[in-house]
A and B are shown apart, each in its own frame.
Chain A
């Protein structure tokens, strides 16, 4: 597919922009989403991320990278922040931040771990924990763009209460042409749970996954352990390495 260069000049220069927090959504006990208004934001592609920069009164700056969780079609930009004890940025974004607060972001960043409806499917998404965020941007975009590409999400969470975007995923899956969503709960399951209870492994991918013969575009996002276990399994099941894109996040996410 020929692509023309339509990148606005301001995106090339990757400016820092001041954003305002418009809404805070408690997704789980440990994760929250921040909905941001970003004047002049160039549209992003699902899977891209942004850098957040916080500046203290004494001028000290801390920076961290977050995946964008919202579809390009959404009016506000969303990031989902997990409460982690270390790091300089997450404790603020996951704890103290209030509607009306302002901080700086730059982006969108990255063009490798990206899916748009124009690329087509099938779309095979594998997430662990808050690694769901960039994959959610893809599913939200798929719905907003009216894409009929077959889509599957295999999502590993520790407990039922830890499933981020649980109700929205249910709604998306229930829609006609919606994605298939397979949950596995690795630590604790509610009474009557009939779904999977182990970490995502080769057998699970073989049983629930999209066959390699369909040549799905595969996106894996989660902790290093999930990516390291999943990638060889996918290769063993016959998926082409060129169709598998992974995004490991470390304890503090991306680099600055």
Chain B
């Protein structure tokens, strides 16, 4: 089943597949940034998080504990960013290069 039809694919993709959507939110490449999970404290590249999503938006989950570290939802009013599950986002030089 495609993400378009279901809104949620059966199996997650890698966070790097959300790079285009995230570039609508951030001026840098967010998939190259590292996120510290608010649930378990693990640090990982956003590009390696588990990505669930479809045309309405994306949920990136910590590969270790499944906490939703970053959510982007597209609404008729605009883009909605929820980073409640992230302790921090480190934007290294590689993300802006």
A interface residue numbers (CB < 8 A to B): 2-7, 12, 14, 49, 51, 65, 86-88, 106-107, 109-113, 224, 227, 245-256
Partner of B27, one of A12, A86, A245, A248: A12
Partner of A250, one of B13, B21, B47: B13
Chief secondary structure at chain A's binding surface = loop
Partner of B23, one of A3, A14, A86, A87: A14
Chief secondary structure at chain B's binding surface = helix
B residues 1-24 near A (Cβ < 8 Å) are: 1-5, 9, 11-21, 23-24
B residues 41-79 near A (Cβ < 8 Å) are: 45-48, 51, 53-55, 58
B interface residue numbers (CB < 8 A to A): 1-5, 9, 11-21, 23-24, 27, 29, 31-32, 45-48, 51, 53-55, 58, 93-97
Report yes or no: B20 in contact with A65, Cβ–Cβ below 8 A. Answer: yes
Minimum CB–CB distance from B80 to chain A (whole Å) comes to: 15
Partner of B17, one of A2, A3, A107, A249: A249
Report yes or no: B20 in contact with A112, Cβ–Cβ below 8 A. Answer: no
Report yes or no: B97 in contact with A111, Cβ–Cβ below 8 A. Answer: yes
Report yes or no: B17 in contact with A247, Cβ–Cβ below 8 A. Answer: yes
Report yes or no: A255 in contact with B93, Cβ–Cβ below 8 A. Answer: no
Q: List, in ascending order, chain B residues with CB within 8 A of A245's CB.
A: 47-48
Minimum CB–CB distance from B35 to chain A (whole Å) comes to: 12
Minimum CB–CB distance from A210 to chain B (whole Å) comes to: 21
Q: Sorted from nearest, which 7 A-B pairs have the closest CB atoms?
A: A112-B47, A110-B19, A111-B32, A254-B17, A111-B29, A3-B97, A112-B31
